[in-house]
Chain A
Amino acid sequence: MPEVILEAKDLVKHYPIKTGIMRRTTGHVKAVDGVSFELHKGETLGIVGESGCGKSTLGRLIMRLEEPTAGEVVFEGLEMQKASTGDMRKLRRDIQIVFQDPYTSLNPRMTVGDIIGEPFEIHSEVVPKGGRRQRVQELLDLVGLNPEHINRYPHQFSGGQRQRIGIARGIALNPKVLVCDEPVSALDVSVQAQVVNLMEKLQDELGLAYIFIAHDLSVVRHISDRVGVMYLGKMAELGTEDEVYEHPTHPYTQALLSAVPVPDPTLRGKREQIVLVGDVPSPANPPKGCRFHTRCWKAQEKCKVEEPQLIDRPDGQGAHRSACHFAELRTIVETVDVTQVEPDDRFAGTDVRDPSDAEAAADVPAPESVNEHVAQDRNLPGDATTMVQNDEGAPDRREI
């Protein structure tokens, strides 16, 4: 396996809950509560889990958009929390982020050229001023957009095209790690495939490592080399794509996998369905012992008192990390290897260029009201990052 480029060590992020007129702290939301993993050079680590489990918070901690309550991020052997200002500058160049919502993550008043070139303002050493326009055009070309559209505004692009712009901006500084928080979740399936294919191509060409955060287990399986499954601020299971999807040992992973619908009606009623009871408990007050014990059908006395560690446990073919006292293989997904199967190119293609009729999107006038609305939501960056809201709005809109 290639060398480790980034490592998260026992990362913790607790947000204070303030109540009453005195705004006294009455508790903490344990958004991320002791997460460790390593990311290898050039690989994709998928992070999956249900809403509120701490995926985006983890992403922000890795980006150092927020200070962890405890724990550390080590990048190329350097501890981020102890880095000097100079080191930090370099770190901020080497780790970049792409956000979910292509409709709100781009400043509507800036041209695409300015948006993609903005990181160069802060890191002017990367491209000298005179070469910027050309570099931006190269980037547009790289993400499959027409370089001549450098002077257009975000509203003149479709959702998929805007996500390409976000990616171009993310790779502008030649980062080594790209954190992608739900990068394709807002896109329709036919467009989602275009963007996923583009991301895979860029990874091959640029040797990027991705942390790919998503709630869609099928997309994550497709793009990831390794996968971490999160539940209530903790990693429940961590392994290679094969290990997690074909040899899951954690009951939560098994339940999650069994709930994902598969687009094949011949499997109806034939797949194992584990229906979980109840809801995810509040991260302000996670259950003691194993956090999953309130919903786990295998829970024993031990699970209520002793927290299971994320350590290698046998999975039927070898061993991989699982945080369950009673970890044991249960095959949920009957996997078919389709490596040799080529898509039928009479109906769809694997070309990563944006093939759409750009003019068709461009001639749509931007309703002024939309512009205003988007502008208010914005929180413009002092750094080469842009904060956007998640689909639920609240959790991701906060100060950097």
Chain B
Amino acid sequence: MTTTTTRAAKKAVPESRYVPEDGLLLDVEDLHVEFHTADGIAKAINGVSFQLRQGETLAILGESGSGKSVTAQAIMGILDMPPAVIPEGKIRYCGQDLLTMDPEVRRKTRGPEISMIFQDALSSLNPVFPVGWQIAEMFRQHRELNKSDAMNEAVRLMERVQIPAARERVKAYPHQFSGGMRQRIMIAMAIALDPAVLIADEPTTALDVTVQAQIMALLEELQEERKMGLILITHDLGVVADVADRIAVMYAGRLVETADILPLYASPAHPYTRGLLESIPRLDQKGQTLAAIGGLPPNLMRIPQGCAFNPRCRMAQDICRQDRPELREIVSGRFSACHFAEEVIDA
């Protein structure tokens, strides 16, 4: 469905967006984020690099505390600074570094260029304003639409994200919607200004599976229709398998493996990824023996020397306790941060 038929909607398409020819929307390079707290410095992100192209879905996968949300917040520019500090790194959006950009200019990218969906829709929506009003307000502020045009756009958008009886419900408040409906409204707000990059941080983690399926289907459709670059943050290897083109596996604030989705599941190139795949029960298997990765992710104030995964790794050798493995290309398009990646990939 396109919305370009009305006068109001014509304005809703950004006048000009410079997208480089190779479609490279986002280029994160050697990003570091620290939290300076009373207990010490937590090194949440320790040199993360990745790229996102137009129409691509990149999944960032990791267990809780691995740094997924902090990465997303750094890109969005919504980290609390302090306690957060970004000592190093670049986040280029269509070639321009967001981190060195004038804060006022950067603020204006939020919404029309890069936007985000959060896990907890209830606390991200404003409880005291009707949802329709909240959506319409974005059109009024960014697109200078008048009140009734903005409201019409809001209704159209609510219909687009499949809110039944949208016109009657524009005046309803967030708490009057179910969890799934609220997540749809969040999505409507996130795509309202037709962003080039959409970051979805655990968009379905709080939802039931049948609702999750609806929401993921909607996100896929919208991405297809608008050719957005989508960063899907999740801990769920099942959800990733269903939607992502590429995947980046995060551990203790670093990417330990990145690859296209098919080869990664077929032959992981990092012991952590491999262990994760061994440890999930599968709906379509019976008689499965589950194996677990021993131990816990490290405390980010004391990340082990060498490879951060070494205390839990069954393949660890002396070198792993001394030298930190860099993320390197193992075979074309496949990167792993393990000294023994070649052995793992063949295992």
> Are the CB atoms of A262 and B238 closer together than 8 Å?
yes
Q: Which residues of B contact A267 (CB under 8 A)?
A: 241, 284
B236: interface (CB < 8 Å): yes
Contact mask for chain B residues 294-314; partner A; CB cutoff 8 A; 1 contact, 0 none: 111011001000000001001
Query: Which of B262, B276, B282, B314 is the one whose CB lies under 8 Å from A190?
Result: B276
Q: Does B1 contact A (CB under 8 A)?
A: no
- Contact between chains at A346 and B315 (CB < 8 Å): yes
Distance, CA A72 to CA B211, complexed state (A): 33
Q: Which of A309-329 contact B (CB under 8 A)?
A: none
Check B213 against A346 for contact (C-beta < 8 Å).
no
Query: Across the interface, do A218 and B282 meet the contact criterion of CB distance under 8 Å?
Result: yes
Q: A262-B241, A338-B286 are in contact. Are A191 and B209 (CB under 8 A)?
A: no
Contact A196:B290 (CB < 8 A) given known A190-B276, A263-B241 = yes
- B13 contacts chain A at the CB level, 8 A cutoff: no
B291 touches A348 (CB 8 A): yes
Nearest A residue to B315, CB-CB:
A346
B280 pairs with A339, CB closer than 8 A: no
Contact B284 A335, beta carbon cutoff 8 Å: yes
Count chain A CB atoms within 10 A of each CB in B261, B276, B298 and give the residue with the most: B276
Identity of the chain B residue whose Cβ is nearest the Cβ of A343 in the assembled complex: B291
Interface residues in A177-222 (C-beta closer than 8 Å to B): 188-194, 196-197, 215, 217-219, 221-222
Chain A contacts of B214 at CB under 8 A?
A: 275-276
Q: How many residues of B contact A (CB 8 A)?
A: 61
B291 close to A189 (CB less than 8 A): no
Quick one: which of B239-276 are within 8 Å of A by CB?
Answer: 239-242, 244, 261-262, 265-266, 271, 274-276
Quick check: which of A114-122, A130-138, A359-367 contacts chain B, the rest being far away? A359-367
Among A50, A337, A349, the residue within 8 A (CB) of B209 is A50
Residues of A within 8 A of B64 (CB): 188
Chain A neighbourhood of B97, CB < 8 A: none
Contact A279 B283 (CB under 8 A): no
Known: A275-B213, A335-B285. A261 touches B292 (CB 8 A): no
Question: Quick one: closest A residue to B207, CB to CB?
Answer: A51
Q: How far apart sit A213 and B64, CA to CA, in the bound complex (Å)?
A: 23
| A-side interface size class | 35 or more
Contact partner of B279 (CB less than 8 A), chosen from A190, A221, A361, is A190
CB of B284 within 8 A of CB of A336, answer yes
Nearest A residue to B214, CB-CB: A275
B residues 177-222 touching A (CB-CB < 8 Å): 178-181, 208-214, 217
B281 adjacent to chain A (CB < 8 Å): yes
B291 neighbours in A (Cβ, 8 Å)? 193, 343-345, 347-350
Q: How far is the CB of A396 from chain B (nearest CB, A)?
A: 16
A341 at the interface (CB under 8 A from B): yes
B residues less than 8 Å from A59 (CB atoms) = none
Measured between beta carbons, the chain A residues less than 8 angstroms from B315 are 346-347
Shortest A284–chain B CB gap in Å is 14
Do residues A190 and B275 form an inter-chain contact, with CB atoms below 8 A?
yes
A279 to B63, CA, bound (A): 29
Contacts of B292 in A (CB 8 A): 190-191, 193-194, 197, 348-350
The reply to whether B283 and A218 form a contact with Cβ atoms under 8 Å apart is yes
Q: With a CB–CB cut-off of 8 A, which chain A residues contact B244?
A: 265
Q: Which residues of A contact B295 (CB under 8 A)?
A: 355-357
A245 contacts B by Cβ under 8 Å: yes
| Chain B residue with the shortest CB-CB distance to A355 | B294
Q: A50-B209, A218-B283, A263-B241 are in contact. Are A347 and B275 (CB under 8 A)?
A: yes
Bound-state CA distance A273–B296 (Å) is 35
> Is the pair B311, A357 in contact by a Cβ cutoff of 8 Å?
yes
**Shortest beta-carbon distance from A13 to chain B in Å:** 21
- Neighbouring B residues of A51 by C-beta, 8 Å: 179, 208
Complex interface: chain B residues within 8 A of A196 (CB): 281, 290
Residue pair B239, A261 in contact (C-beta under 8 Å):
yes
CB proximity of B116 to chain A, nearest CB, Å: 22
Assess A255 versus B39: contact at CB under 8 Å? Given A219-B281, A361-B296.
no
Which B residues are CB-close (under 8 A) to A279?
A: 178, 180-181, 211
- Contacts A/B (CB < 8 Å), 11 sampled: A188-B64, A193-B280, A193-B292, A215-B208, A259-B209, A261-B239, A261-B241, A267-B241, A268-B241, A336-B285, A351-B294
The 8 closest A-B pairs by CB, nearest first: A261-B238, A339-B287, A355-B294, A348-B291, A343-B291, A193-B292, A222-B281, A193-B279
Enumerate chain A interface residues (CB-CB to B < 8 A): 50-51, 158, 160, 188-194, 196-197, 215, 217-219, 221-222, 241-242, 245, 255-268, 273, 275-276, 278-279, 333-351, 355-357, 360-361, 364-365
Q: Which of B's residues lie within 8 Å of A, judged by CB? A: 39, 63-64, 164, 178-181, 208-214, 217, 235-242, 244, 261-262, 265-266, 271, 274-296, 298-299, 302, 311, 314-315, 344, 347
